[in-house]
Amino acid sequence: MLSAVAKMLLIIYLLITISALFSYLLYRTTTYWKRRGIPQDVPHPFYGNLTGFRKYRVLHDIIYDYYSKYHKTGHPFVGFNFIQRRSAFVMDIKLAKNVLIKDFTNFADRGQFHNVRDDPLTGHLFNLDGKRWKEMRQRLSPTFTSGKMKFMFPTVIKVSEEFMNVMFEQVPAKSDGGIVEIKEQMARFTTDVIGTCAFGIECNTLRTPETDFRNMAKKAITEMRHGPILTAFHFSFPNVARKLRMRMLPDDVHEFFMRLVNDTMAYREKEKVKRNDFMEMLIELKQKGTFTMDNGEVIKGLDLGELAAQVFVFYLAGFETSSSTMSYALYELAQHQDIQDKLREDINAVLEKHNGKMSYECIKDMRYLDQVISETLRLYTIVPFLERKALNDYVVPGHPNYVIEKGTQVIIPACAIHRDEDFYPDPETFDPERFSAEQVATRDSVEWLPFGDGPRNCVGLRFGQMQTRVGLAQLIKNFKFSVCDQTEIPLVYDPKPFVLGTIGGINVRVERV
């Protein structure tokens, strides 16, 4: 038996060994880029180069400031520590194109945390990597064709018409209209659209905002399962977190959406209910049993967890990004009456050409509306950066000393590229003419990245564009938006979310046209 003194000494030696190992690993992480001669701001021992994030600094500002500091120094990338994860922060648009398109096979993974076994809702297309991602992408791509969008279009129109009824009730007929908080209104609209198209349920949050469906969706975006230390561990060491069988989503969020998908699927299969929505397409994939890949390989059909995960991310990605885009567009249009008037004229002209009917083809013909949305997404990039992971060592073409080693995260700073005056002169100005056909033809596709680019771009971009176009077309056709005493200029952003969101609402004056 060891004496008490011996036990104490053993514990002390063990603690010293653990501390030494931890210090060594921390040193290697924080000096990784310096030792390779790659420029980098000195990282914080815990936060890396994200000091202040989720406390007092907005992630977009961190990314933009870092890009602004280094982007004219001639380096194709610089070092960056995303908490404890080493990252290559891309400075050169040619390298961005290589990563996203030309050399995609070496950067096909995102390297995000997902745990299909213990946290099945994290096993969605956005998170999956490798063979599982490729299989799921091939399965889902046919569900987002123009033809499939046409099938869902009447559902979007139906929700938008109810949206207009609610707006007319809120905006008095008197000449000066009324003050409306548009951020919440847009969120209710997209929640009802996605809820109907993804789950096939009538959410009716336009009239009853405090529903379990709406509350759980907000919680899934704003709340984490764990505190800051374990959350940081998820992001820094996703593979280790998965092997430890860690989970990310709160229990009540997981249980709510799994139950909702299970009950919806069981009801439809039992009652043989058919609907033109995303859920129906996934059920068909599940019922097929097998799926043939492009290379001829036959794989098994979707199980319940995989199906639920795809519906879950379709909902989260669809309602938040589209509602924010609509809110920021209206905020800018309220400040630029000339652009708003031109947009309204274009919408009415296109409607007249289509006999007043807002069809799928009619919405596609609203070119100036598309320019307004594109410029909004440039100026208010909802997701600040794109993320990829090197599958093998990668020597940057033309820069033999710049090597992105296997396993390194690659950050492409979309929000900073969108405000780079080399690509967009006077970048702080809202100007939809930047996205005229003539100007778009002069730019490379990777200079505009709200939906990503290359084989791993956003699979649901057609749907997101469709619901945003419908919502804005209906609003601008029927209402005039302008600033008021309660309009906050400039907006103040919330540092907590990963996506671009304001603190509080966005108030504007709304009048009937």
| Binding site residue list for heme | 458
Residue ranges for the known binding site are 458
DSSP at 62: H
CA–CA gap between residue 172 and residue 169 (Å, rounded): 7
- Residue 119 in 3-state DSSP? strand
HEC per residue, 315-344 = HHHHHHHHHHHHHHHHHHHHHCHHHHHHHH
Q: Please give the backbone phi and psi of residue 109, each rounded to the nearest 5 degrees, phi first.
A: -95, 155
DSSP at 393: -
CA–CA gap between residue 317 and residue 451 (Å, rounded): 11
Strand arrangement of the beta sheet that strand 178-181 belongs to: 178-181, 507-512, 479-482
| Paired strand residues for 57 | 53
| Paired strand residues for 388 | 410
Between helices 182-194 and 461-478, what is the axis angle to 10°? 130
| Paired strand residues for 448 | none
| Paired strand residues for 6 | none
Q: Are 412 and 449 in contact (CB under 8 A)?
A: yes
